[in-house]
């Protein structure tokens, strides 16, 4: 299914959902690229880089735009991992599409939406304050043991 088909289908079936996309980016040492959220919800928590899908944008285009905005790193989308629903804290829901992506360039620097960014080994993730259920999702995607 093409990304545009997913976006249209989602918009038609879930009118109140906020469509978002994020990326699992691993480096050559299999470390995860994470951003520390600078704003609510989950301010101060570490999570995957990503954000809202803009009008007229495909899910993949949103990932390619959002990751550099938050991290300074350019990425290429490899494939979609899964879609999940996350409450927005105000009675709504974010419909998040997570993608596997690979770094293709850029310099790592925290953008406006990120308090910090970093590369973390699998064994470090359990010691971080992460967004709710992030490790569960990473396990479900098959990228975390």
pTM for the full model?
Answer: 0.87
Identify the CATH number of the domain defined by range 3-141.
3.90.79.10
pLDDT tens, position by position, 91-119:
889 999 999 999 999 999 999 889 999 99
Domain ranges of the chain: 3-141
Instruction: Find the distance separating the first CA and the last CA of the chain, reported in whole Å.
Output: 28
At 122, the pLDDT band (50, 70, 90 cuts) reads very high
pLDDT tens, position by position, 13-54:
456 899 999 999 999 999 999 999 999 888 999 999 999 999
Residues 6+ apart with CB under 8 A from 141: 24, 81, 82, 98, 100
What pLDDT score was predicted for residue 13? 40
Per-residue pLDDT at 5 exceeds 70: no
Per-residue pLDDT at 11 exceeds 80: no
């Amino acid at each position: 299914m093409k990304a545009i088909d997913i976006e249209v289908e989602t918009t038609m079936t879930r009118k109140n959902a906020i469509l978002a996309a994020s990326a699992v980016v691993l480096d050559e040492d299999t470390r995860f690229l994470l951003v520390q959220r600078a704003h609510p919800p989950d301010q101060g928590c570490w999570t995957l880089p990503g954000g809202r899908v803009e009008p007229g944008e495909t899910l993949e285009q949103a990932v390619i735009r959002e990751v550099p905005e938050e991290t300074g790193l350019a990425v290429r989308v490899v494939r979609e991992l899964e879609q999940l629903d996350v409450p927005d804290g105000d009675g709504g829901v974010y419909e998040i599409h997570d993608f596997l992506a690979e770094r293709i360039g850029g310099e790592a620097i925290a953008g406006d939406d990120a308090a910090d960014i970093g590369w973390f080994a699998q064994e470090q993730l359990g010691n971080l304050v992460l967004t709710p259920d992030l490790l569960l999702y990473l396990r479900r995607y098959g990228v975390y043991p």
